[in-house]
Every structure is written in C-alpha cells, then in structure tokens.
Amino acid sequence: MLKEKTAIITGASRGIGKAIAEIFAENNAFVGINYYKSQLFAEETFKKIKEKDGKAILLKGDVSNPKEVESFIKKFVSKSKHIDILVNNAGIYERSNFEKISHKTWNNVISTNLSGCFNVCKQAIPYMKPGGKIIFISSQLAYRGSSHGADYASSKAGMLGLMRSLALELACKKINVNAVAPGTIDTDIIANYSEEVRKQRKKEIPLNRLGTPKDIANTCLFLASNLSDYITGETINVNGGLYIH
C-alpha cells in the first residue's frame, strides 16, 4: 500500500510508534525510526524491519528540541530526498493529579507532546509534496479530560487544534492532515496496571478487550495510503467503543 513512499514516525522505538514503523515497512515504505532515549529498543525495531527485507533508518533526536529535529529531518531527507508521510507519535505521560503537577513537569509534557509536533511539522512540511499525509497520534483524553494527567490531556487536545489548522492550510497543497485518538492501548503506559484493573478496564470497553498497538497502526496505514485521499481534518477514534464522540 505504501510502495515507494517515505515515512517518518516520531517516538518509534516501541509501543504504538514501533507498530506503525513495522507495518509501514511491511507495506514497502522507507521508514525513519525516530527515538530519543530508547536506543536499544530503536535498534531492535530497526533490526526486525531489516530481517523482513524492509527499508529503514534510525533517527535520534528529541522532538522538543528544534535543532535536533532539524538535524534528524535533514538526515532522513539526505537518503529519501523528500517526505511522503509524517506520523507525530512521540509523547510522554506523567501520571499525577493537578495539585502535584509542577511547572517543570507541565512544560516538559507540553514541549514534548505538543510543541514537538510543531517542531517536526515545521521542518518536515517543506519536504512534502502533493499527496503527502500527516498523522497525529492524539488520545481519547483530548475529549474526556483526565483526573490524573491534565498536562497530558491538554497536550493531546492541543494536537487536534494544530491538526485541524494544518488541514485547512495545507489542503491547497494536496497534503492531508488527520489524527488518530487511541483508547486504552496495551503499551508501557499501562504496564503497571494490576490484573484486577485490567479486567475492570475491559468491562468498561464495549468490545471487551484492550486495544493493541497494531489496532492503531492499521488505522495509520489507512490514513497514510491513497485510500484516505478525500479525508482531511478528521480524527478517527480507535477505542473499542469506550468513548463514542
């Protein structure tokens, strides 16, 4: 589905980002695996893609740092010449109620989750041609809010505002901009959940299971392909019916 396409996925060393990188590579895209601190995980993702004859490159860089973003975008373009697909997935989640959120934590979450998207888009868009696709990985918490992550929910809501604005602005250039809002996905974010909590979460979900990274990756594959050419400015909720918006 993505033959001869080039794609950058931020935060692609594990979890949702890893699943997206792998399914894009399986569909013949040349994939840029961005990571910051998780080098060993990123190398494992790279190795797995190469073992299946996929094409990929490692791109180290902190999305909250404009200079590092400029550096890894240039590194990718030196190999690919242009960017067809950009997935803004990098993010952090510091669980804490509002009273305990420090200014430092707030700024760190916003600068990574939201400003990071701005930084990457700012550098990547000049290399995108008509037919390009930009995908933001938001969250159901962008709609619902969170009693233990106001900073995270705010950053994910802000992503949707940026997504809609870019969809309007880039439509004349034939670049589609959309978002995916995952529900409860079985990644490192919920790794500390007890079995009891997991069972309770499943009961709350109409489809009676937690989501998987591949559930999100499959949706991103659709949005990255030409099957979604007439969709822009939209958010696809992938949550098993947990929150129907």
Taking alpha carbons only, the member of 204, 211, 240, 95 closest to residue 153 is: 95
Report pLDDT digits (tens) over 154-185: 999 999 999 999 999 999 999 999 999 999 88
d(CA 56, CA 21): 9
| Residue pLDDT, tens place only, 112-148 | 999 999 999 999 999 999 999 999 999 999 999 888 8
CA angle 183, 62, 37 (to 5 degrees): 80
104 has pLDDT over 90:
yes
pLDDT at 48: 95
Show me where the domains of the chain are located: 6-236
- Write down the pTM of the prediction: 0.95
Which residue out of 152, 193, 230, 243 is catalytically annotated?
Answer: 152
**6-236, CATH topology level:** Rossmann fold (3.40.50)
Distance CA 49, CA 3 (A): 15
CA distance 234 to 180: 8
Q: Is 152 a catalytic residue?
A: yes
Six-digit token string for 209: 């299971």
